[in-house]
Structure 1
Amino acid sequence: MVLTGTLVNGAAIIVAGCIGLMVQNIPEKMKTTVLQAIALAIILLGIQMGLQTEEFLLVIGSLAVGGVLGEWIGIDSHLNQLGMWIESKLKPAKSGESGKVAQAFVTTSLIYVVGAMAVLGSIDSGLRADHSLLYTKAMLDGLSAIIFASTLGFGVLLSAVPVVLYQGAIALLATYIAAFIPGPILEQYILEMTAVGGIMVVAIGLNILGITSIRVANLLPALPVLGGLIWILSIV
C-alpha cells in the first residue's frame, strides 16, 4: 500500500511519544548515544543509496544547480522564519498546559516534516512502494519522540498528524507520475534520484552527529532539476 510507510511513521511518533510521557527522566548521555547510533545508521543507508548511481555527472550537476536554486530561494531560511513566526504567535498565549502542548506540537512538527527524508521517502513509497526510507525515518522519529515527549510533553504526539498529511500527500501524488512519464525515463530518474537522495541522507546523518551544519533543505531543488536533466538528455 502506498501509505504504509507514512502510517508507520505516524504510528511510531504516537507510540514512542507515549513511552516518553511515561519515562520523564532519561539520562542526557543515553539520549546522545541513541541519537548518534541512529545517525551512523542513517549515514550507512545514505552511502548505500548514493552508490546506486550509473550517471555520477547527473548527480553532481543536479546537486550543484539545485543547491544554487535552493540558496537563491532561501528554502532553509524561509522554513526557519516560519518556525519563528509560529512560535511568536504562541507567545501571547497563557502559560498554562495548553500553551505547552501547542509549543511542543509546533516544534516537533517542524523537525519531523521539514527534511529531505520526508520528501524522498514519500516519493519512494509512491513510485516504487519501497517504504524502507520511511521505516528508517520512523525509527529515527520514534526514538527522538521518546526524548522530546519526556521533556516537552503531550504536544509531541500531535505532530503525527502533519507528518501523515504531508508525507501521505506526496506519496499519493507520486503515483500519478508513472502515468505521464515514459518507463525508461522514470526508471533512470528513480535510480539517480536514489543516489541524489542518498547524498542528502548522509548530510542529515552528519548534521545529527554535529559534524556539519549542511542546509539540506536548500538541496531539495536538486530533485526536480535531476528530472529536467534526464528529460533533456532523452530528447537530445
Structure 2
Amino acid sequence: MALYGTIINGILIVVGTLLGLFFTKIPEKYKETVMHGIGLAVILIGMQMAFSTEAIIVVLLSLLTGAIIGEFLHLEEGLNRLGNWIGSKFVSENKNFSIAEGFVTASLIFVIGAMSVIGALDSGLRGDHEVLITKGVIDGFVALVLTTTLGFGVVFSVIPVVVYQGGIALLATQIDRWIPEEVLNGLIIELTAVGGLLIVAIGLNLLKIIQIRVGNLLPAVITVVPIYYVYHLFV
C-alpha cells in the first residue's frame, strides 16, 4: 500500500499534538526556551540538508524563480488566511492568529525536507515505509513541543502532510516511466538542498532573528525540477 507510511506519519502528528495539549500550561519562559531549542535544531537540520548540493546554481535559480512566483501569488498571505479560516471554525476571533501560526509553522516544518520526499518515493517505488514511519516519530515529538507554544493549530498540519507525501507516493508508483534513475537521484539531492535552505529560514523565524516569508519561497521546491533537468542536459 503506497500510502501506508503517509497515513502513519499523519496519525503520529495528531497523537503528538494531543499529548502536547496536556503541557500547554507550563510557564512562558520554559516555552520560550524550548522554542529556541527547536529553532536551533531546525537550523542545524536545514544546514545539513543544504550542504548536500552538488550544483549551487540550481539551488540559487530555484530560490529566485520560486520567490518571484510566490510573491506574485501571495502564497504566504494565502496560508495565513487558510489558517485563520480554520481557526475561526474552532476558536473565538481573538485566538485565530495562534491557530494560523501553529498551522503554518508546523506545516512548513513537516512538509519541507528530504525525509518527506525520499520517504514518499520509497513508499511508492519500493513499498518501503521505514523512512516515513521514522519521520512520523520525529514529527510527533516536534508536534508535541510545538503545541505547547503554538497551540492546537499544529494538528491541522496533518492535512498538507498527507496530501503532499501521499501525492508523491502515488506519483512515484509511475515515475520511473518518465524520469531515468540517474536524473531522479540528482534531482533528489538538489531538492533536498533547496528544502534545507527553506528549513533554515523557518528556524530563523522561530528564533525571531528575522521574519522571512517562507511561504512565498515554497514554489522553489517545484521550480527546481525543470531547472535541474535543464542543468542535467547541458552540464
Contact 1:70 1:221 in 2 (8 A): yes
SS in 1 for 2:43: helix
Q: Which runs of 5+ in 1 are unaligned?
A: 91-97
C-alpha separation between the residues in 2 aligned to 1:209 and 1:56? 26
Identity across matched positions, percent: 28
Query: What is the number of residues matched between the two proteins?
Result: 220
Q: Structure 2: 5+ residue runs without aligned partners?
A: 124-130
* Aligned counterpart, 1:51: 51
Output the amino acid matched with 1:122. S
**Aligned to 1:181, what secondary structure does the other structure show?**
coil
Structure 1 residue 235, shift from structure 2 partner: 3.6
Alpha-carbon displacement from aligned partner over 1:160-217 (angstroms, at most 9, x marks no partner) = 7535633442342342434421111111100111111111110011110111111111
Q: Is residue 168 of structure 2 the alignment partner of residue 166 of structure 1?
A: no
**Partner of 1:213 in structure 2?**
211
For 1:195, the aligned partner's letter is A
Q: State the distance in 1 between where 2:20 and 2:77 align.
A: 33
Q: What secondary structure does 1:199 align onto?
A: helix
Relative to structure 1, the CA distance from residue 165 to residue 45 in structure 2 (aligned partners, 3 Å threshold; closer, same or farther) is closer
**Paired residue for 2:35?**
35
Write the letter of the residue equivalent to 2:141.
Answer: M
2: CA distance between counterparts of 1:141 and 1:35? 12
Q: 1:160 to 1:6 in 2, by over 3 A?
A: farther
Q: CA deviation at 1:138?
A: 3.4
Report the AA paired with residue 210 of structure 1: K
CA distance in 2, matches of 1:86, 1:70: 22
Length-normalised TM-score, structure 2: 0.77
Query: Quick one: which amino acid aligns to residue 29 of structure 2?
Result: K
Structure 1 residues 47-77: Cα deviation after superposition (integer angstroms, max 9, x where no partner): 1111111111111111111111111111112
Q: Secondary structure at the match of 1:144?
A: helix
Correspondence 1:1-236 to 2 at 5 A = 3-4=4-5, 7-21=8-22, 23=23, 25-87=25-87, 90=89, 107=100, 108-113=102-107, 115=108, 117-120=110-113, 121-128=115-122, 130-131=131-132, 135-148=137-150, 159=156, 162=159, 165-175=162-172, 176-236=174-234
Partner of 2:127: none
Residues 105 and 25 of structure 1: is their aligned pair in 2 closer, same or farther, counting only changes over 3 Å? closer
Stretch moving more, 174-183 or 210-219: 174-183
Aligned AA for 1:13? V
Alpha-carbon distance between aligned partners in 2 of 1:135 and 1:5, rounded to the nearest angstrom: 12
SS at match of 1:159: helix
The C-alpha deviation readout for 1:85-126, integer Å capped at 9, x for no partner, is: 4455x4xxxxxxx756x969964445433x264144432321
Contact in 2 for aligned 1:20/1:147 (Cα 8 Å): no
Equivalent residue for 2:128?
A: none
